[in-house]
Amino acid sequence: MPGTDIAEAQRIVLGELPDLPHLAELPDRGPGADIVGRTAAFLVDLPVELYTGRWRVAARPGRDLRRALDLLERDLDQLTEQGDGYTGVVKVQAAGPYTLVSNVDLAAGGRLLRDPGAVRDLTASLAEGLRGHVDDVRRRLPGATVLLQVDEPSLPTVLAGRVPTESGLSAYRPVETSVATDALRSLVDRVGAPVVFHCCAADVPVSLLVAAGASALSLDLSLVTALDPLGEAIDAGVGLLAGVAPTSGARAPDHKDLVDRVRAVWGQLGFGRDLLGRQVVVTPTCGLAGASVSYARDVLAACRDAGHRLVEE
């Protein structure tokens, strides 16, 4: 979400998305509120710090990690206060292990991605931390069902071997599909909540994410070119968070336009309309941090209304 006022952001989320609210994130607040720093706060026994503008593994917890934890606690407090009595599904988000290892450095230099042992350690640490996070939200909102979104925008680049080294003259070795599948499956098995994998990049490895145990996929539908894997996922009962609403603009789209975009892809997939209301959620294509607050509010309302229309028709 845009801005720096967590109370306002959470009010908008709960007001416009009463059927599927989420814990708001405000990266405009700076380090520790960004996707990497915020998720690093969940790591167990693997502290991080900022060094020359990048996150890296630290010898011990310090000021940067305390700031990330403090911001997270404030956000959770707002969700607890404003969501008091809520009994539906609530979504929380965190970066996935491959996005983290592509953006966090080893203490000795170079991305964590360069060391397979470090990747395994981080994945296990993240899974344990996210399990604790899910349990914490359940305690705060005892009537709610927690849905965990794992953001993996870097996964296609990791699999393709396109993550550049620090010199920029070469790239790290690609991670094998089987290795990535096993790692993500281990995380899904550990966190104790249904997992939505989100990736707003091109070349999303849909089959890999399904094999890893995804309950749903969150995709920018305009970037999905290979429809067969997506169709197979939907046929297997995997949900689709259909990213069709632009993340910024002068004016939010009409909900009818969003319905048309979803139906166009649905028609290409060959499924009947009866499944739309059961397996599809209408969403923006990615995060709204670059939008204005008014646009964010309006586009969430448009997504909500589009979802209702899909169910009603």
Per-residue pLDDT of the chain (313 residues; tens, 9 = 90+): 999 999 999 999 999 999 999 999 999 999 999 999 999 999 999 999 999 999 999 999 999 999 999 999 999 999 999 999 999 999 999 999 999 999 999 999 999 999 999 999 999 999 999 999 999 999 999 999 999 999 999 999 999 999 999 888 899 999 999 999 999 999 999 999 999 999 999 999 999 999 999 999 999 999 998 899 999 999 999 999 999 999 999 999 999 999 999 999 999 999 988 889 899 999 999 999 999 999 999 999 999 999 999 988 7
Residues 282 and 194 grouped into a single domain: no
The answer as to whether 223 is a domain residue is: no
Exposed (0-12), middle (13-18) or buried (19+): which is 236, by Cβ within 10 Å? exposed
* CA 69 from centroid of its chain's CA atoms: 18
Q: Are residues 236 and 193 in the same domain?
A: no
Supply the range of the domain harboring residue 53: 6-214
DSSP states of 147-201? EEEEE-TTHHHHHHT-PBPTTSSSBPPPPPHHHHHHHHHHHHHHH-S-EEEEE-S
Same domain? For 148 and 260 the reply is no
Q: 214, 247, 264: which is the final residue of a domain?
A: 214
Residue 98 lies in a domain: yes
Whole-model pTM: value is 0.96
Q: Do 28 and 176 fall into the same domain?
A: yes
Question: Quick one: 83 and 182 in the same domain?
Answer: yes
φ, ψ (nearest 5 deg) of residue 268: -65, -35
Count of structural domains within the chain = 2
- Give a yes or no: residue 222 inside a domain: no
Residue 47 lies in a domain: yes
- Same domain? For 287 and 169 the reply is no
